[in-house]
Amino acid sequence: MQLYRLTLATMLQRKVWIIAFLCALIMPIVLPYLTPHESNPNLVAPARAQAAWICLWVVSIAWVFFQAARFGDDTARSGLGAYFLSTGVSRVSQMMQIWLACLTFLLPLVCITVAVCLVGAMPGDSAQAKMWIATNMQYAALFLLVIMPLMMVATSVGSRFGSTIGYLIPLCMSVYGMYGVGYLSMMTTVQDNVFLDWLYVVSPHYHLADLTPRLVFRHGSMVGSEFLQLVAYFVGIKIVLSMLSTMCFQAKPVT
């Protein structure tokens, strides 16, 4: 796990993680007060949950993906990948170690977000509180199932095509999966186009992992079967992306 330790130490040394953690911690406290909370104090709690989760999405997409892509690129270009390869650390193991190091920073961010929601926005009613906890846990699970494979994509594409492309591809995929698919859905309803229908089917529906409206409008947690269906769907995407990432990752520059 030498590459894991080295990647982790590099991330710590760069200190940008402080900004990421401060964002995840402070934004949900500050942003809710931009709402008309004086006239309606009940707005603060849902706004806090919304701010917390949106912050987490933004930090993950903007910072974690970039780190993952950069480490993939650096490892291949710096000769470290070849060094580890010569010592018997396989290509896949190298990718996993970089991915794990990025995940080590992502997990506390998720914990902070869930903690902010549970401490700073928990409903007073005990039945609602139970539902609130369950929804946040479901959200955390789905969020990780979406972000983790995309981090792997960032690392592997970064190692092969450089950090810029390695960053842009998972960024575009996540934005498309969150928002683009919605527009595509509208287009498929107004146009009878087989290609668009297929595109809609094969697109990653990351918007399904966004449970922010459930938290904001207190819709309650998903029923078990619905949640498991979503888990299975995202696990399927994860398997496909992991396989593609494994094929794409390279530990040394192309000669």
Partner 1 sequence: MKLTDGNPKVGLLGGLSIGYQERLAQVSDQGDIELGSGTHYLLARNGRGKTTLLRTLAGVLKPLDGGFSCEGRCQLLSEDMTFDRELPARVILKCLLKKADCKQAIELAHNLELNLVKPYGKLSTGNKRKVALLVAEFSVQEGRSDILLLDEPFTGLDAFAREIFQDLWSKRQDGVLRLVSCHPDFDSMEMESSVLISDGQIVHLSGENAPKQWGDLKIQLN
> Which residues of the shown chain bind partner 1 in the complex (CB under 8 A)?
2, 5-6, 9-10, 13-14, 74, 78-80, 82-83, 85-88, 252, 255
- The least distance separating partner 1 from the CB of residue 251, rounded to whole angstroms, comes to 8
**46 or 81, CB closer to partner 1?**
81
What is the distance between the alpha carbons of residues 191 and 197, in angstroms, rounded to a whole number? 9
Using CA atoms, how far apart are residues 69 and 74, in angstroms rounded to an integer? 9
Q: How does DSSP classify residue 125?
A: S
61, two tokens? 């997409």
- C-beta closer to partner 1: residue 94 or 242: 94
- Three-state SS at 86: helix
Q: Which residue number, 79 or 236, has a Cβ lying nearer to partner 1?
A: 79
Residue 189 CA from chain centroid, whole number: 29
Provide the minimum distance between the beta carbon of 81 and partner 1 in the complex, in angstroms, as a whole number: 9
3-state secondary structure of 123: coil
State which residue, 64 or 222, has the beta carbon closest to partner 1: 64
CB of 247 to partner 1, least distance (A): 18
- Residue 77 Cβ vs partner 1, minimum distance, rounded to whole Å: 9
- What stretches of the chain adopt beta strand conformation (E)? none
